[in-house]
Amino acid sequence: MIRAENLGKRFGDRAAVEALDLEVAPGEVFGLLGPNGAGKTTTVRMLTSLIAPTAGRAWVNGHAIGADDAAVRRSVGVLTEVPGLYARLTAAENLRFFGRLHSLDDLDARIRRFLTLLGLWERRDDRAGSFSKGMRQKLAIARTLLHDPPVVFLDEPTAALDPSAARVVRDFIAGLRDAGRAIVLCTHNLDEAQRLCNRIAIMQRTILKVGTAETLRAELAGDQLVVTIREVTPAARAAVVGGVGDAALTEVDGRFAIATAAPDALAPGLVRALVAAGADVLRVEVERPSLEAVYLDLVGEAAPADAEDAL
Partner 1 sequence: MSWRRVRAIMAREGLEIRRNRMVLLSMSLLPLLMVGVVIGSLLTIAGLVPADLAKQGFVPPPGLAGMNLQAAVQVLVNDQNMLYLILTPTLLPIVIGAYSIIGEKETRSLEPLLATPVTTGEIVLGKTLAALIPAVLLGLLQFALAIAAIGAMTSAPVLAQAVRPLWVVGVFVAMPLLAGLSTLLAVVVSARVNDVRTAQAISSLVVLPIVGSGVAVLVGQIYLTTSVMVAASGALLVLDALVGWLAVRAFGRESILSRLG
Ligand X SMILES: Nc1ncnc2c1ncn2[C@@H]1O[C@H](COP(=O)(O)OP(=O)(O)OP(=O)(O)O)[C@@H](O)[C@H]1O
Can you give the binding site for Mg ion, defined by CB under 5 A? Answer: 40-41, 81
Residue choice 11, 180, 268, 280 for contact with ligand X (CB under 6 A): 11
**Minimum distance from CB of 149 to ligand X (Å)?**
21
Q: What are phi and psi of 156, to 5 degrees?
A: 50, 65
Among ligand X, partner 1, Mg ion, none, residue 38 binds (CB under 5-8 Å by kind)? ligand X
Query: Which residues partner with 15 through β-bridges?
Result: 10
The span from the CA of 253 to the CA of 101, in Å, is: 66
89 binds partner 1 (CB under 8 A): yes
In sign, the C-alpha dihedral spanning 279, 284, 286, 289 is negative
| Partner touching 187 among ligand X, Mg ion, partner 1, none, CB below 5 to 8 Å by kind | none
Would you say 43 or 90 has its CB closer to ligand X?
Answer: 43
Question: Could you tell me which stretch among 39-47, 71-79, 119-127, 166-174 binds ligand X (CB under 6 A)?
Answer: 39-47
Residues that bind partner 1 (rule: CB under 8 A) add up to a total of 30
Partner whose binding site includes residue 78, from partner 1, Mg ion, ligand X, none (CB under 5 to 8 Å by kind): partner 1
Residues 97-136 that bind partner 1 (CB under 8 A): 97-98, 100-103
CB of 305 to ligand X, least distance (A): 10
Cβ of 43: how many Cβ atoms within 10 Å?
Answer: 29
Candidate residues 8, 31, 39, 243; the one interacting with ligand X per rule CB under 6 A: 39
Distance CA 34, CA 55 (A): 21
Which of 30, 4, 39 has its CA nearest to residue 205?
39
31 binds ligand X (CB under 6 A): no
Q: Which is nearer to ligand X, 48 or 90 (CB)?
A: 48
- Rounded CA gap, 29 and 24, in Å? 8
Which C-beta is closer to ligand X: that of 80 or that of 94?
Answer: 80
| Residue numbers at the binding site for partner 1 (CB under 8 A) | 11, 45, 48-52, 70, 73-74, 76, 78, 80, 82-89, 93, 97-98, 100-103, 140, 143
| Residue numbers at the binding site for ligand X (CB under 6 A) | 11, 16, 34, 36-42, 81, 306, 308-309
